[in-house]
Amino acid sequence: MKPIMNALKATYYFFAGDAILLVAVLLAFGLATLLAHVSAPNVLVAVIFIALIVGGLTLTLGRELRGRKRGG
Amino acid sequence: MTAQVWAVILAAFLASTVEFVEAFTIVLVVGVTINWRSAFAGTLAAVGALAICVATFGTALVVFVPLAALRFVIGLLLVLFGLKWLKKAILRYAGLKALHDEEAIYEEHLAEMRARGEAPPARLNPFGVLTSFKSVLLEGLEVAFIVITFGIQANADNHSTQFNGIALAALGAAAALLLVVAAGALIRAPLQRVPENTLKYVVGIMLTSFGTFWGGEGLGITWWQSDLFLLVLVAFYLAVTGALILWLRPFAPPKAAARKKALGQPAEEVAG
């Protein structure tokens, strides 16, 4: 079990290394797939897709900032 | 050659330059403290392993995975990768994270190696070979990933049988390797002057823009003005990340306090 966990952990750190980024990007791709599937307008899908990606980056930077403020 | 082909070569070249500069620092330490034979043997073995990795995975993915699924997955992974690089670069530009200091890393590893207290042998040293192999392989894995993803996508966009996107991306990476090795051989010191953070930032913008574009195509989004929308995405991400840097900059610790933290000394002593 431990080698599998280690492999998963290494893969996570290689590709993302940040839970907020991972969730935001998965959400962006997941939600855009869903919207495209229900034939939502192209512009709406594109805007939501990009907004979630940018939102993820902003959130993770905000978290870094809060962590540094708390740490002094 | 089309703009997208140049983008593939450029992305692979820039990303590889950053990673190879980092790997070069460790190889240099091995060369100086153990011997150059071990340093080169480890480097060559790692480059060979990476080339096999790119050839095997690149071909397997093209042959076995359908194009639409490939675009989706490549887009997703590129966006993740790009955001990871952008986050680091933004924090460094804003002053919230220390810049990558090749000289400090070099000194630290040099001290570690010398602490082992072994006289430099003339023949191959397993520890030296392994150390340089590991550093080149680990840094090179990110390069291999970029070469594979950009190469496959370029193949998908170019239907000519003569065209090999992976080979073109690998060419960009090889050019970076040659440049770093040549500069290193000339200077014989850690490559401090390479603007690593700027390169990281540029590559982050490229990966995120291409990832958004290709991922969106995989989802079925029809981009306005087709391929030209890539430039809009690049400009958009530059503007957003620029705004994020400006937002974070006022929260950076003053330089004296940052230096104190790095040295582990009281602020007054450093300031004085």
Distance of alpha carbon A48 from alpha carbon A45, whole angstroms:
5
Residues of B in contact with A14 (CB under 8 A): 141-142
In a domain? residue A44: yes
In a domain? residue A33: yes
Average pLDDT, chain B: 81
By CB neighbour count within 10 A (0-12 exposed, 13-18 middle, 19+ buried), where does B250 fall? Answer: exposed
- The residue length of chain A stands at 72
Percent of chain A, pLDDT > 90? 60
Residue A32 is nearest to which of B219, B236, B241, comparing CB atoms? Answer: B219
What's residue B19's pLDDT?
A: 85
Residue-range domain boundaries for chain B = 3-267
Burial B202-220 (b: 16+ CB within 10 A, else e): bbbbbbbbbbbbbbbbbbb
Across the range B209-232, mean pLDDT stands at 89
- Closest A-chain CA to B89: A61
Angle, helices B229-248 vs B196-219, to 10°: value is 130
In a domain? residue A41: yes
pLDDT band at residue B269, thresholds of 50, 70 and 90?
very low
Tens of pLDDT, residues B41-91: 999 999 899 889 888 888 788 778 887 788 888 899 999 989 999 999 999
The alpha carbon torsion through B179, B185, B188, B194 (nearest 10 deg) reads 0
In a domain? residue A48: yes
Cross-chain residue pair B221–A32, CB shorter than 8 Å = yes
Of B2 and A46, the one with more pLDDT: A46
Tens of pLDDT, residues B253-262: 876 555 555 5
Instruction: Say which DSSP state B253 is in.
Output: P
Residue A2 distance to chain B (closest CA, Å): 21
What's residue B161's pLDDT?
A: 58
pTM check: above 0.80: no
B98: phi > 0 → left, psi -120 to 50 → alpha, else beta; which? Answer: beta
What's residue B268's pLDDT?
A: 36
Residues of B with CB under 8 A from a CB of A: 72, 75-77, 79-81, 83-84, 86-87, 90-91, 96, 141-142, 208, 212, 215-216, 219-223, 233, 236, 240-241, 244, 248, 251
Residue B96 is nearest to which of A17, A60, A64, comparing CB atoms? Answer: A64
Domain range for A53 is: 18-71
Query: Which ipTM value was assigned to this complex?
Result: 0.91
Distance of alpha carbon B238 from alpha carbon B247, whole angstroms:
14
Residues of A in contact with B81 (CB under 8 A): 15
User: Per the structure block, which two tokens stand in for B5?
Assistant: 């082909």
**Overall number of domains in chain A:** 1
Residues of A in contact with B77 (CB under 8 A): 15
Across the range B232-256, mean pLDDT stands at 90
User: Per the structure block, which two tokens stand in for B85?
Assistant: 């690089």
Angle, helices B165-187 vs B36-64, to 10°: value is 170
Across the range B194-208, mean pLDDT stands at 86
In a domain? residue A27: yes
Distance of alpha carbon B111 from alpha carbon B109, whole angstroms:
5
Closest CA to B108 of B190, B167, B41, B5: B190
In a domain? residue A61: yes
Instruction: Say which DSSP state B164 is in.
Output: -
Distance of alpha carbon A50 from alpha carbon B211, whole angstroms:
11
Cross-chain residue pair A61–B236, CB shorter than 8 Å = no
In a domain? residue A1: no
Given a cut of 70, whether residue B92 has pLDDT beyond it is yes
In a domain? residue A12: no
By CB neighbour count within 10 A (0-12 exposed, 13-18 middle, 19+ buried), where does B180 fall? Answer: buried
